[in-house]
Amino acid sequence: MCGIAGYTGKRKASEVVVDGLALLEYRGYDSAGIALFNGQGNLQITKKAGFVSHLKKAVYGKEGCCGIGHTRWATHGIANETNCHPHCHGKFCIVHNGIIENFATLKKSLQKKGKKFLSQTDTEVVAVLLDEFYKGDVLDALGKVAKLLKGSFAIAILCHDFCDRIYFLKKGSPLIVGVGQGENFVASDQLAFVHYTDNVVFLKDNEMGYADSNNVFVFDFCKNKKVLHVEKSNAKADNVAKPPKSFMHKEIFEIPKALRMTANDFFNDEYKKQKAIDIFSKNDKVIMIGCGTAYNACLVGKLVWEKVLHVSAEVDLASEFRYKNPLVSKGTLVVAVSQSGETADTLRATKLAKSKGADVVVITNVAHSSITKNADLVLHTKAGQEVAVAATKSYATQVLLFLCIACVLSKDSKAVKEIKKQIDDLPYLATKALLCDTVVAKKAKEFCKKQGTFFVGRGLDFPLAIEGSLKLKEISYMHSQGFAAGELKHGSIALVDKNVLVVGIITQKKVAEKTINALHEVSCRGAKVLVVTQFDKMANEAGCHDVIKLPGATDLLMPILAVIPLQLFAYHVSVARGINPDKPRNLAKSVTVE
Ligand code: F6R
């Protein structure tokens, strides 16, 4: 969470940094700020609450070739200009991503020494400490401060004594240096400088250093110089061009392509397939972990593996797994799912699993992300950059990978042949599913004023109900909850009346009739019912209900196809309620704090 962008070179730093921040807004957009060295070596600070676009207006035309900026997702202190980064003290000015867990203790002891603080942030303590330790050697101060800090941090720093340098410090949160010709960049994500260079250095934990326009130097916290590994960036400029409607709508419509790319990439990689077989055969226990939508993908993954492989798997929220002394040892396979590969809880849970002797398979959308460093095998969802805060195409590809892995591990060659044929058809089926967009938009307009929505389903439709509900509340602010269709009557049906919408997901042949019963029960209590189904018969039997019809496919594929109308529904309700679906309040795409 929070995005850092820094530039040193010959261009106007204000423009490079602010444009970079705009590309990092997926990491948070509560406030944005910039520190610029103007031509005379004076530092100019500009801060604005709200989106980067507000900051852009404020810094338009400002001179200076070296600067650092920040787009914030508030953790400590409300989202106002005082708490907005950069934070400065004495000769230092810093921007920070992460959380300094011991900031309160450090702050108290600095206050006792008479140091004054202006903000409520944890970050400011680092600026004060740097100034305290600085005796003419910035690296010396950085190393000393880094050793005092608990928690995770990626920090970019300007020091008044070196007005063409950006110093940096990293532990636990991502920080990347872009290496240009006569110019260099520092950012939380390669995207920030995608228009300028594709040469990148992925900084490792416990590294610090500095960049000026011609050099980049990296050290450990004891000031030992490290060899620079310059790699080629995999970020693409065309993925981030602003689409006419919204990123979310565009990304839902990219699902067919994302599915094709993911399946091709997996099935054509003999090494990864063999490695998956080797790892799976070594282990007798499986635990799947993730957060939010990635967790919901695990819920589907568990059911898919049970059906295809006849193995049972546990599913855990990464944020619970890591704090409960999980029953993990040699012989346990942990499958960690994360679109960004940077989610703090999933990262730490994966590290914990590894330290307890587990084999770790990571499913992620971002090559080089931090989570890949702890993996025995990395499987890539090839969804492409996902900019909208809500996960859409990444979810579809995560579920697909669970299915692809099952194909490779299964010994039932007849069943596998059948599933693979269906996977080949998936992009076509997903394209057909997208045709419901207009109908869904109409329904969304009709239901957008409801007080709340329940999503219900059975079997593979149950995790889908949870995911549909998460998507709706996240971007439309309408209260909603996902239920196993049989559970509503055990209490929560008391909430059902004419102000409530119930979305019934009916894609699993065996349990379809049973879910229809649950829908009749809520319908006769006044609820409006919207049915999402692949069955013509169900559509007819639903009778008085509104229906969104899906293309027919095998039950196993339905969590991938049926999520499409649910994502579109959330999107259209959000728009109908006058909300920006790409940037819902209080959220950020990448949750790098615990
Ligand atoms: C919901 C959503 C979040 C993420 C969750 C995990 O639309 O996007 O629930 O799924 O924060 O993120 P990753 O997959 O990056 O670990």
- The model's pLDDT over 11-57, given as tens digits with 9 standing for 90+, comes to 999 999 999 999 898 888 889 999 999 878 789 999 999 889 999 99
Residue 2 alpha carbon to ligand 1 centre in Å: 15
Mutate to test the pocket of ligand 1, among 339, 476, 583 (most ligand atoms within 8 A of CB): 339
User: From the alpha carbon of 346, which atom of ligand 1 is closest?
Assistant: 16
Of all protein residues, the one whose alpha carbon is nearest to atom 11 of ligand 1 is 292
346 lines ligand 1 (CB under 6 A): yes
Asked whether residue 65 carries a pLDDT value surpassing 70, the answer given is yes
Tell me, what's the pLDDT at 29? Answer: 86
User: From the alpha carbon of 471, which atom of ligand 1 is closest?
Assistant: 7
Collect all residues with Cβ–Cβ distance below 8 Å to 89 and sequence separation of at least 6: 115, 124, 127, 128, 130, 131
Residue 574 alpha carbon to ligand 1 centre in Å: 18
Asked whether residue 256 carries a pLDDT value surpassing 60, the answer given is yes
Tell me, what's the pLDDT at 315? Answer: 98
Neighbours of 30 (CB within 10 A): 22
Give start-end residues of each CATH 3.60.20.10 domain in the chain: 3-235
The pLDDT tens digits for 258-275 are 999 999 999 999 999 999
Q: Which of 129-143, 294-308, 505-519 has the lowest mean pLDDT?
A: 505-519
Q: Count of H helices and E strands in the chain?
A: 19, 25
475 lines ligand 1 (CB under 6 A): no
Residue 257 alpha carbon to ligand 1 centre in Å: 21
Average pLDDT over residues 432-457: 96
Average pLDDT over residues 378-402: 96
CATH number of 3-235: 3.60.20.10
Asked whether residue 459 carries a pLDDT value surpassing 70, the answer given is yes
503 lines ligand 1 (CB under 6 A): no
Q: Which of 70-84, 193-207, 462-476, 566-580 has the lowest mean pLDDT?
A: 70-84
Asked whether residue 238 carries a pLDDT value surpassing 90, the answer given is no
Residue 327 alpha carbon to ligand 1 centre in Å: 25
Of the pLDDT bands very low, low, confident and very high (cuts 50, 70, 90), residue 468 is very high
- Tell me the sheet residues that pair with 151: 100
* Single pTM value for the model: 0.86
574 lines ligand 1 (CB under 6 A): no
Quick check: helix, strand or coil at residue 33? strand
Q: Which of 170-184, 283-297, 527-541 has the lowest mean pLDDT?
A: 527-541
The pLDDT tens digits for 348-358 are 999 999 999 99
The pLDDT tens digits for 396-428 are 999 999 999 999 999 999 999 999 999 999 999
User: From the alpha carbon of 364, which atom of ligand 1 is closest?
Assistant: 14
The residue among 234 and 180 whose pLDDT is bigger is 180
The pLDDT tens digits for 523-566 are 889 999 999 999 987 766 655 578 999 999 999 999 999 999 99
Mean pLDDT (the chain, rounded): 93
Listed residue (275, 533, 292, 502) closest to 409, CA to CA: 275
Tell me, what's the pLDDT at 368? Answer: 82
Mutate to test the pocket of ligand 1, among 73, 591, 592 (most ligand atoms within 8 A of CB): 591
The pLDDT tens digits for 306-329 are 999 999 999 999 999 999 999 999
Listed residue (160, 97, 94, 170) closest to 127, CA to CA: 94
Residue 295 alpha carbon to ligand 1 centre in Å: 8
Tell me, what's the pLDDT at 544? Answer: 59
Neighbours of 232 (CB within 10 A): 7
Residue 29 alpha carbon to ligand 1 centre in Å: 17
Tell me, what's the pLDDT at 453? Answer: 97
User: From the alpha carbon of 389, which atom of ligand 1 is closest?
Assistant: 8
Calpha distance 531→545 (Å, rounded): 7
Which residue numbers are catalytic? 2, 589
Listed residue (122, 164, 170) closest to 143, CA to CA: 170
Listed residue (11, 8, 28) closest to 70, CA to CA: 28
Whether 456 contacts 518, CB under 8 Å: yes
CA 497 to chain centre: 35
Calpha distance 74→95 (Å, rounded): 13
Tell me, what's the pLDDT at 456? Answer: 96
User: From the alpha carbon of 395, which atom of ligand 1 is closest?
Assistant: 10
Q: What percent of the chain has pLDDT over 90?
A: 83
The pLDDT tens digits for 68-103 are 999 988 888 888 888 999 999 999 999 999 889 999
Residue 388 alpha carbon to ligand 1 centre in Å: 11
Tell me, what's the pLDDT at 542? Answer: 53
Instruction: Output the CA angle 455-344-311, nearest 5 degrees.
Output: 60
Provide the phi-psi class of 298: left if phi over 0, else alpha when psi is between -120 and 50, else beta.
alpha
Write the secondary structure of 180-196 as one string of H (helix), E (strand) and C (coil).
CCCCEEEECCHHHHCCC
The pLDDT tens digits for 475-508 are 999 999 999 999 988 999 999 999 999 999 999 9
Calpha distance 279→274 (Å, rounded): 9
Report phi then psi at 57, rounded to 5: -60, -40
Fold of 255-411: Rossmann fold (3.40.50)
Mutate to test the pocket of ligand 1, among 252, 291, 563 (most ligand atoms within 8 A of CB): 291
Q: Is the dihedral of CA 332, 269, 561, 478 positive or negative?
A: positive
336 lines ligand 1 (CB under 6 A): no
Tokens 């852009």 found at: 56
369 lines ligand 1 (CB under 6 A): no
339 lines ligand 1 (CB under 6 A): yes
Fold of 435-581: Rossmann fold (3.40.50)
By CB atoms closer than 10 A (0-12, 13-18, 19+), residue 441 is: middle
74 lines ligand 1 (CB under 6 A): no
Give start-end residues of each CATH 3.40.50.10490 domain in the chain: 255-411, 435-581
591 lines ligand 1 (CB under 6 A): yes
Cis peptide before 86, with omega less than 30 degrees from 0?
A: yes
